[in-house]
Amino acid sequence: MTRVKPLTRRTVVIGEPMDTGIAGAPTASRRWHGVFATVVAMTACGLLTAAPALAATPGGPVVTVSGASMHGYSATSPVDHGSLADRADAASRADQAITWFQTRFGDTSYHMKCETAVENAYGTSGRHGSALDAWRAVVSQGRAHPGDVHAPRGALVFWGITQPWGHVGISRGDGTFVATDVNGSAIGAAQLPHYSNYLGWAYPDF
């Protein structure tokens, strides 16, 4: 009977000679070096997130990035994978909209016109007939965050009050919001959720 040489275990150190140690096979000293060794080392440490040489494997998955931006916002969130200009535009528009409200604190000319005020703050008009219309639109598009009071800066916050119109304001990102009819019939700021029947938040679609 022919005896087979048992396999042996050996710790391999990257950059050091390696003996195969396989029965019946010729042995040779080799060094792991260059890109392959670097990839192995990084993978072992959990540091590798993408390797162009591996991504080009035939038949492998194709990863694409999509989502058209709309004035600095995408369909579901502020653009976080776009250019710095996209992100700066989103932040700038949010700041401008909030400033629009803050410079009008005490103004009663938008009494019962919350949707109009929010759209005007973002530089548009005529997008939705009421706050509830806007809320239904974002819900149907899967963009709503129901019940979440941690609305980011610039997000629209909604309530199911004053039926059938509802109410909407703009989050300042610190737990407060600006809107019409906060202090009686005037524009002002308050802590979320403030009113009853808070619905949630969504990024603006304009």
Q: Could you write out the DSSP letters of every residue in 135-190?
A: HHHHHHTT--EET---PPTT-EEEE--TTTT-EEEEE-SSSEEEEEEEETTEEEEE
Q: How far apart are CA 178 and CA 156, in angstroms?
A: 10
Q: Could you write out the DSSP letters of every residue in 112-125?
A: T-HHHHHHHHTT--
Examine the pLDDT at 124 and tell me if it is beyond 60.
yes
Examine the pLDDT at 135 and tell me if it is beyond 80.
yes
Query: Residue 55's pLDDT is what?
Result: 32
46-103 tens-digit pLDDT = 333 333 333 333 333 332 223 333 333 433 444 344 578 888 888 999 999 999 999 9
Give the domain ranges of the chain. Answer: 1-63, 84-202
- Homologous superfamily in CATH for domain 84-202: endopeptidase domain like (from Nostoc punctiforme) (3.90.1720.10)
30-42 tens-digit pLDDT = 443 443 333 333 3
User: How confident is the model over 148-155, as a mean pLDDT?
Assistant: 97
Longest dimension (CA), the chain: 102
pTM of the model: 0.62
Q: Please give the DSSP secondary-structure letter assigned to residue 85.
A: H
Terminal CA-CA length for the chain: 82
